[in-house]
């Protein structure tokens, strides 16, 4: 029975090989997943990447060999070892190298051995080197010892040796993340890097349709296929097997919770999958901001990509509801909501690798809202002592955000109260098209709307005498977070009376007890930064709308001088 690989990445590999563009390929991305092997009878066999490459490379070649540092060379048949040694020894004699009677184990010897194999034009072979980041790790030159440097030079020589390019030999290297591989090797002109993507909708449908026993699901198959976007075939297989073992019926809530666990485990805490349970009906006040975001949400749901910003910045003092509004927008738009965690590490290359892992996940999921909270800390301009890590992180984010194919599918949302600490080019239109300013509620009516929304959110009970309007009048200058604190303190006072209902005295005592922020100069500075960054005057409070840029800058300069070192 004939069988062949027919995927997007194998088509790219074939095309570039046949065109003579490259004989050295580096596969990266979803390389630990199962791949579809199509038989001529129409059936599909799911196999690992190593077996898939064996099928792909064996056509017209004497031998296909696999190697990783743990197992060494892995051959399909015992007699293939002698064939491999014969090919090596044939070329070794011409280069005055000693013949070998066994396969090498030391990395430096393996690299030399493979070089002799792939430069032999008479016995074409395919070589697969797995976990390539362990062979050519990303390190600074100063951190490489003499053997590391020799290995790197030899590897770069592969890509530039005419005797290799002129043969029918092929080398396929495998790594999960390009950022783990030496940047010097990645710069080799004859190296072709090819991403192995996560399974798209069609591939997930094929896998589900090919199951001999359909899993018990409390949802249509098409909903299951849509909801598993961003998962590998192996992860979907594990999810279904777990349900089968425990005799469970897969429901939508169960699937989303399991997907959340898989994503967070796969990314090792780099992201958190958020499933918001509130929408804009739970957000009090902020009518101009909600109006703008509703328009964006409708454009996302309607597929009007040109009307969807590439990115948004929520800017304003702490406690103004930026996170709450962001999650409500995710619910309204239907975008999968991810929160970026701490992806920075002290080891060389780890930070960049972690970021790549997150961006790969976003590409796989599609239709994602990525929330970057406290962006001034996560993406600050950094210092010269970080070895250039921060500049590389920001450069990679800029590159990712500049892909026009992401418009309408991926929305970056940064939240910050110190936008002055962010790279100016990162904030420009085309990357962050919408900058929404957040302020403390301006009027008693706005505070009343927020108090009512917070009352619904926290499911509090008020008795007939409790008057939220009196609270709103007595809380001028309070943030949304501080208004919530007043309600929660009042509820605690009610509980101390063994009551489940908040009365007027509880509210009055709570207003007296809760102390709002006294750091007025810092809050004023953050407010002015929000005014300075805002992309629309109609979203500003009346007291700021007529200020010129020069007036705002002068006020900022005065506050900056007053706050001094506290701003660093």
Please give the residue that has the higher pLDDT: either 473 or 381: 473
Question: Tens digits of per-residue pLDDT, 296-348?
Answer: 999 988 888 888 998 999 999 988 889 999 999 998 988 888 888 877 766 65
The domains spanning 3-196 and 274-437 adopt the same CATH topology? yes
Please give the residue that has the higher pLDDT: either 34 or 463: 34
CATH 3.90.850.10 assigned to domain 3-196? The reply is: no
CATH class for domain 442-568?
mainly alpha
State the pairing for strand pair 35-39/44-47.
antiparallel
Bridge partners for 45 per DSSP: 37
DSSP codes, 265-284:
HHTTTSEEEE-----GGG--
% of the chain residues with pLDDT over 90: 24
SS3 93: helix
Average pLDDT across the chain, whole number: 86
Radius of gyration of the chain (CA): 30
Residue 436's pLDDT is what?
94
pLDDT confidence band for 59 (50 / 70 / 90)? confident
The arithmetic mean of pLDDT across residues 485-509, rounded, is 90
Please say if the pLDDT value at position 142 is more than 80: no
Please say if the pLDDT value at position 100 is more than 70: yes
Please say if the pLDDT value at position 161 is more than 80: no
pLDDT confidence band for 1 (50 / 70 / 90)? very low
Residue among 427, 370, 374, 376 at smallest CA distance from 398? 427
Which secondary structure element, helix H or strand E, spans residue 527, and what is its range?
Answer: helix 520-533
Please say if the pLDDT value at position 27 is more than 90: yes
CA dist list (Å): 203 to 30, 50, 282: 14, 19, 39
The arithmetic mean of pLDDT across residues 417-445, rounded, is 88
Domain boundaries, the chain: 3-196, 201-266, 274-437, 442-568
Please say if the pLDDT value at position 499 is more than 50: yes
Please say if the pLDDT value at position 477 is more than 70: yes
Please say if the pLDDT value at position 71 is more than 50: yes
Q: Which residues make Cβ contacts (< 8 Å) with residue 274, sequence separation at least 6?
A: 327, 330, 337, 338, 339, 371
The arithmetic mean of pLDDT across residues 203-220, rounded, is 86
SS3 66: strand
The arithmetic mean of pLDDT across residues 371-398, rounded, is 75
- Distance of alpha carbon 404 from the chain centroid: 17
Token digits for 457? 């959110």
Q: What is the DSSP letter of 250?
A: B
Three-point CA angle 150, 152, 154, nearest 5°: 70
Residue 2's pLDDT is what?
53
Residue 33's pLDDT is what?
93
Architecture field, domain 274-437: 3-Layer(aba) Sandwich (3.40)
Residue 3's pLDDT is what?
57
Question: Tens digits of per-residue pLDDT, 236-256?
Answer: 998 888 888 888 888 887 888
pLDDT confidence band for 68 (50 / 70 / 90)? very high
pTM: 0.74
Q: Which residues make Cβ contacts (< 8 Å) with residue 524, sequence separation at least 6?
A: 559
Token digits for 51? 């077996």
Please give the residue that has the higher pLDDT: either 284 or 549: 549
The arithmetic mean of pLDDT across residues 516-536, rounded, is 88
Residue 326's pLDDT is what?
93
Segment among 205-219, 521-535, 547-561 with least mean pLDDT: 205-219
């Amino acid at each position: 029975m004939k069988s062949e690989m027919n995927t997007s990445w194998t088509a790219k590999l074939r095309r570039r090989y046949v065109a003579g563009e490259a004989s050295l390929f580096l596969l990266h991305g979803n390389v630990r997943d199962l791949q579809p092997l199509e038989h001529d009878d129409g059936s599909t066999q799911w196999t690992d990447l190593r077996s898939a490459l064996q099928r792909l490379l064996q056509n017209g070649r004497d031998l296909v060999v696999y190697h990783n540092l743990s197992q060494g060379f892995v051959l399909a048949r015992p007699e293939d070892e002698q064939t491999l040694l014969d090919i090596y020894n044939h070329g070794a004699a011409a280069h005055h190298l000693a013949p070998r009677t066994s396969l090498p184990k030391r990395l430096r010897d393996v690299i030399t051995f493979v070089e002799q194999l792939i430069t032999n034009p008479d016995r074409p072979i395919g070589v697969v080197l797995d976990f390539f980041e362990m062979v050519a790790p990303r390190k600074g030159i100063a951190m490489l010892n003499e053997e590391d440097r020799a290995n790197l030079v030899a590897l770069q020589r592969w890509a530039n040796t005419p005797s290799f390019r002129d043969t029918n030999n092929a080398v396929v290297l495998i790594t999960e993340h390009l950022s783990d591989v030496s940047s010097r090797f990645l710069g080799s002109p004859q190296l072709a890097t090819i991403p192995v993507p996560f399974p798209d909708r069609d591939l997930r449908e094929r896998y589900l349709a090919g199951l001999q026993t359909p899993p018990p699901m409390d949802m249509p198959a098409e909903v299951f296929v849509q909801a598993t976007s961003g998962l590998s075939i192996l992860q979907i297989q594990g999810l279904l097997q777990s349900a089968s073992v425990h005799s469970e019926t897969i429901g939508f809530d169960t699937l989303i919770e399991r997907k959340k666990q898989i994503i967070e485990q796969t990314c090792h805490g780099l992201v958190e999958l958020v499933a918001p349970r509130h929408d804009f009906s739970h957000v009090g006040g902020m009518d101009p901001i909600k109006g703008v975001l509703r328009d964006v949400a409708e454009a996302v749901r309607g597929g009007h990509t040109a009307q969807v910003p590439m990115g948004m910045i929520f800017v304003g003092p702490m406690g103004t509801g930026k996170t709450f509004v962001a999650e409500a927008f995710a619910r309204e738009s239907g975008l999968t909501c991810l929160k970026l965690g701490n992806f920075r590490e002290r080891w060389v290359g780890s930070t960049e690798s972690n970021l790549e892992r997150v961006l790969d996940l976003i590409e796989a999921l599609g239709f994602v809202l990525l929330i970057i909270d406290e962006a001034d800390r996560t993406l600050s301009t950094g210092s010269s002592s970080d070895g250039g890590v921060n500049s590389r992180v920001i450069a990679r984010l800029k590159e990712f955000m500049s892909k026009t194919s992401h418009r309408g599918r991926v929305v970056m949302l940064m939240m910050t109260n110190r936008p002055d600490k962010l790279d100016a080019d990162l904030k420009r239109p085309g990357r962050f098209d919408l900058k929404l300013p957040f302020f403390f509620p301006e009027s008693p009516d706005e505070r009343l709307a927020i108090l009512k929304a917070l009352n619904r959110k926290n499911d509090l009970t008020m008795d007939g005498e409790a008057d939220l309007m009196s609270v709103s009048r007595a809380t001028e200058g309070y943030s949304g977070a501080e208004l919530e604190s007043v309600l929660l303190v009042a509820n605690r006072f009610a509980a101390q009376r063994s009551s489940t209902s908040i009365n007027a005295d509880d509210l009055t005592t709570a207003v007296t007890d809760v102390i709002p922020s006294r750091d007025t100069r810092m809050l004023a500075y953050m407010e002015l930064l929000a005014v300075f960054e805002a992309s629309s005057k109609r979203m500003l409070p009346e007291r700021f709308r007529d200020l010129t840029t020069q007036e705002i800058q002068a006020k900022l300069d005065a506050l900056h001088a007053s706050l001094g070192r506290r701003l660093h």
